[in-house]
Structure 1
Amino acid sequence: MRLSDLLARPVRDSAGRTVGQVADVRLVQDGPLLLQVHNAFRVAGLIVVTRHTGRLFGYERGPAIKGPWLVRALLRVLHRNTRYVPWEHVGDIDDRGILLRVPQHELASVHDLYQENGP
């Protein structure tokens, strides 16, 4: 499966309720060493939005979140339902979308993800 196959795919929680759709894929570069140059990437998780994926421009989880209070407040409101799904929570991927192993209420806000890992 290609990364592009994950984007815009519907996401359902363990009870079958719609969580949203995949807007972005989070990668980490900690795989095996490739050609003695760099490590391979692996999928660490998914960024899931409740509305159209065009809402994401990167500001919701970057240094701008620490900007002026008005910017922070606006971004919090715009992305209040944006969730991070660790790859371990992905149960099945089929024609209907992505089925998670956990209920929606266990998913972290994308803001929490950024605060845990820092800038």
Structure 2
Amino acid sequence: MPTIRVSDLLGRPVFDNHGDNLGKVQDVVVRHTPEGRYEVLGLIAGHSAVAGRFGYGGSLEPPTPLRPILHWLRRHERYLRWEGIEDLGDDAIRVSVESAELTREWREDTRG
């Protein structure tokens, strides 16, 4: 498999298996393996990355007063498991599932 840079993925449009637009890639979820490598677990797609840029993209719990606002800002985000990526085309990324099956949460993705 060719090397893929995070910068090549960020901002790329994402479509589900019916052609519905899921937004653009806002972030890449990785984990550090015991062997010292980094493994891509999935992508975060959506229409805005404001909450994630504040550090509240799923790994950090926001303070109580900000929780409803940040939840609202993240309402269009979807977590795309790497195994569900069907095509990393030059113009867009296509996933093998429909948008209704996708969730915002990726913290539970603890493979390995």
TM-score normalised according to structure 1 size: 0.78
Count of residues in correspondence between the two structures: 105
Structure with the greater alpha carbon radius of gyration: 1
Q: CA deviation at 1:54?
A: 5.2
Separation in 2 of the partners of 1:93 and 1:62?
26
After superposition, the CA RMSD in angstroms is 1.8
1:59-105 alpha-carbon deviations (Å, 9 max, x no partner): 2323333x21x211111111111111110110001122100000011
Q: Which runs of 5+ in 1 are unaligned?
A: 34-38
SS of the equivalent of 1:60 reads coil
C-alpha distance 42-64 of structure 1, shift in aligned 2 (>3 A)? same
Q: Which runs of 5+ in 2 are unaligned?
A: none
Bigger helix fraction? 1
Read off the aligned partner of 2:88 and give its amino acid letter.
I
Q: How does 1:95-110 map to 2 (within 5 A)?
A: 95-109=90-104
Give every structure 1 segment of 4 or more consecutive aligned residues whose post-TM-superposition deviation is greater than 6 Å: none
TM-score normalised according to structure 2 size: 0.82
Separation in 2 of the partners of 1:26 and 1:60?
10
